[in-house]
């Protein structure tokens, strides 16, 4: 994990030095997200947040590639029904380092449609049961839209769909899904 972090940091640093003439922009973003597990059982939504950095790489006037490095608090909750009116909610809170690589197409100035693959690495869990029952790696796709003001302020909405079964149980099928509402600044 340290090697991955240092490799990404080195690439970002290299891009910063070389990006001064090429239109490459760096930024930070964060926001709220509403995540859930989908699969064999019915889970409840969980609200979390995400924060991180990005690099905007222009390929042409209307097409950009935007790799991101995000800390993301995700997961779900599950209600156990013990009968006789006895219910207990269990928190499957998972912390990830998520790396999306979004292709951005600008339909008009400032407004972009975005889509791309992402990989996530579990770095923590709310409790031991959640940690033991969820795999350490997830991958999926994201799609959404964003709007950027000329001053560098940006807003976006994104839907993330997990494609990997993240359940450690061989008989289980669990995937991550979520909606992100973000705000950021490109400099």
CATH no. for residue 149?
2.40.160.20
Q: Say how far apart CA 184 and CA 187 lie, in whole Å.
A: 10
- What distance in Å separates the CA atoms of residue 125 and residue 133, rounded to the nearest whole number? 10
- Whether 17 is covered by a domain: the verdict is no
Q: What is residue 169's predicted lDDT score, i.e. its pLDDT? A: 87
Cβ neighbors of 106 (< 8 A, separation 6 or more) are: 61, 62, 63, 64, 112
- The pLDDT assigned to 184 comes to 98
Query: Residue ranges of the chain with pLDDT lower than 50?
Result: 5-6, 9, 12, 15-20
Residue 17's pLDDT is what?
Answer: 46
Specify the number of domains making up the chain.
Answer: 1
Residue 66 lies in a domain: yes
On whether residue 13 sits in a domain, the answer given is: no
Longest Cα–Cα distance in the chain: 68
Q: How far apart are CA 91 and CA 137, in angstroms?
A: 19
Q: Phi and psi (nearest 5°) for 157?
A: -130, 135
Q: Which domain holds residue 107?
A: 24-186
For residue 103, the model assigns a pLDDT of: 98
Other C-beta atoms closer than 10 Å to the C-beta of 148 total 22
**Residue 1: per-residue pLDDT:** 52
User: Would residue 10 count as lying in a domain?
Assistant: no
Closest C-alpha among 101, 76, 33, 80 to residue 167: 76
Distance CA 155, CA 128 (A): 35
Considering the domain boundaries, does residue 168 fall inside one? yes
Task: Tell whether 11 is covered by a domain.
Answer: no
Residue 151 covered by a domain: yes
DSSP state of 57: E
Q: Is residue 125 part of a domain?
A: yes
């Amino acid at each position: 994990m340290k090697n991955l972090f240092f490799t990404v940091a080195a690439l970002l640093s290299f891009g910063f030095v070389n990006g001064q003439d090429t239109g490459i922009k760096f930024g930070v973003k964060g926001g709220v997200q509403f995540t859930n597990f989908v699969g064999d059982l019915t889970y409840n939504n969980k609200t979390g947040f995400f924060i991180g950095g990005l690099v905007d790489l222009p390929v042409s006037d209307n097409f950009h590639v935007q790799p991101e490095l995000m800390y993301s608090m995700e997961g779900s909750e599950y209600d156990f029904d013990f009968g006789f009116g006895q219910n207990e909610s269990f928190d499957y809170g998972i912390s990830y380092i998520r790396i999306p690589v979004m292709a951005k197409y600008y339909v008009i100035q400032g407004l972009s449609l975005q889509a791309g693959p992402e990989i996530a690495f579990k770095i923590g869990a709310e409790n031991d049961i959640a940690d033991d029952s969820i795999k350490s790696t997830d991958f999926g796709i994201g799609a959404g839209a964003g709007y950027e003001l000329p001053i560098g302020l940006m807003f976006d909405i994104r839907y993330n769909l997990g494609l990997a079964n993240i359940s450690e149980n061989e008989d289980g099928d669990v995937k991550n899904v979520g909606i992100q509402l973000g705000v950021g600044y490109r400099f």
